[in-house]
Amino acid sequence: MSDRDNSGNAKASYVFGPVPSRRLGRSLGLDITPYKTCTFDCIYCQLGRTTNRTVQRKEYVPNDLVLSELKGFLDEIGEDIDYITFAGSGEPTLHSKIGEMIDAIKTMTDIPVVVITNGSLLFREDVRSDLLNADLVLPSLDAATEPAFRAVNQPHESLEVGKIIEGIRIFREAFEGEFWLEIMVVKGMNDQEEEISALMDAISRIDPDRVQLNTVVRPSAEAVEAAGRDELMRIRERFGENAEIIADARIGVRADILPLLQRRPLTIEEISGALEMHRNEAAKYLRELVERGEVASVVHGGKRYFAVKTG
């Protein structure tokens, strides 16, 4: 969560985007936890392994700095934003003052507020209370049995899937906004009949407005396989009429980045925006491409650009 100003000094950056999102239109992101600070260490995470697996809630970044930076963005481009989204490179509900931040944003703008969360802390009353004023909450639930939960999400040792499902259900019951449940299907790990049946039962109890099926489409923390389109369609039919497939047809981020850079040099913000990914994710792939000698990094006019390496 850092960038460089024109003098080369590091400066904090908690706002990213706007990112064109297949689900949320033009989404302005808020990243309010340190990189890879999460309650899970999901095997499919495109940002790599969790470096700080924790359930400790605290004010990881200063609220006033986040809100000040957000206000600057809104003053400049507010009319072009569809959603303000708590997402980024860690689990946002670990931030103990996310509720205060949501309330403050509501006084600044009418743009809807979204929280994308892994849902792991919704069994806590304080977390549920913090999210009640959001307009859309989008938790994930990748497994409904303990073995699959531990295999796919690799959670903090204190977490149990039954407790998490019940927390999501209780929150859903009290929450008056839109509520979408995302399920990441990993081939051979949570797509077996026993797991699909358990997920169907959990979905029935939670009763989300939408069920969104996703699968692995980018390089991830471990070697895992994506579910095929036919398999996703079969699962969608089992989950009912409010289920939809949101997985896109990407074949890999490296294949996406190189054609972009062949047109002209781009900054990391331009790359992340074009490919609908967080800047930290883009940085990871760019670093790999630079190390492989396929991409060059140059500074011009106080900004760092990336271009396909020639010669």
CATH of the domain at 137: 3.20.20.70
224, with CB counted inside 10 A (0-12, 13-18, 19+), is: middle
Q: Decide: 89 and 44 in contact? Cβ < 8 Å.
A: no
| Spatial separation of the C-alpha atoms in residues 260 and 49, rounded to whole Å | 27
**CB neighbourhood size of 158 (10 A):** 10
- 118 pLDDT above the threshold of 70: yes
Domain boundary among 202, 227, 249: 249
| pLDDT tens per residue across span 253-274 | 555 687 778 777 888 888 877 7
Mean pLDDT of 133-160: 97
Q: What is the structure's pLDDT at 18?
A: 79
Question: Are 149 and 193 found together in one domain?
Answer: yes
Domain boundary among 233, 249, 265: 249
Question: Are 240 and 283 found together in one domain?
Answer: no
Question: Are 135 and 265 found together in one domain?
Answer: no
Report residue 83's pLDDT band, with 50, 70 and 90 as the boundaries.
very high
Query: What percentage of the chain carries pLDDT values higher than 70?
Result: 88
Question: Are 237 and 261 found together in one domain?
Answer: no
Question: Are 122 and 146 found together in one domain?
Answer: yes
Q: CB neighbours of 308 closer than 8 A, spacing ≥ 6?
A: 258, 261, 262, 294, 295, 296
What CATH code is carried by the domain that includes residue 295? 1.10.10.10
Question: Are 113 and 132 found together in one domain?
Answer: yes
Domain boundary among 234, 249, 264: 249
Query: What percentage of the chain carries pLDDT values higher than 90?
Result: 56
Query: Of the ranges 184-188, 224-228, 284-288, which one carries the lowest mean pLDDT score?
Result: 284-288
Question: Are 226 and 242 found together in one domain?
Answer: yes
Q: What is the tally of structural domains in the chain? A: 2
Q: What is the structure's pLDDT at 24?
A: 84
Mean pLDDT of 286-299: 83
Q: Who wins on pLDDT, 292 or 127?
A: 127
What residue numbers bound the domain in which 236 lies? 2-249
Q: What is the mean pLDDT of the chain?
A: 86
Q: What is the structure's pLDDT at 78?
A: 66
What's the whole-model pTM score?
Answer: 0.77
The residue type found at 119 is G
How much is the CA Rg of the chain, to the nearest whole Å? 19
| pLDDT tens per residue across span 229-258 | 888 999 999 998 899 988 754 434 555 687
Q: Who wins on pLDDT, 218 or 106?
A: 106
Q: Decide: 17 and 74 in contact? Cβ < 8 Å.
A: no
- 224 pLDDT above the threshold of 60: yes
Question: Are 263 and 196 found together in one domain?
Answer: no
Q: What is the structure's pLDDT at 7?
A: 31
Q: What is the structure's pLDDT at 55?
A: 97
Question: Are 84 and 207 found together in one domain?
Answer: yes
Question: Are 100 and 242 found together in one domain?
Answer: yes
Question: Are 63 and 131 found together in one domain?
Answer: yes
Query: Of the ranges 28-42, 50-64, 264-278, which one carries the lowest mean pLDDT score?
Result: 264-278
3-class DSSP state for residue 212? strand
Mean pLDDT of 112-137: 98
Question: Are 285 and 136 found together in one domain?
Answer: no
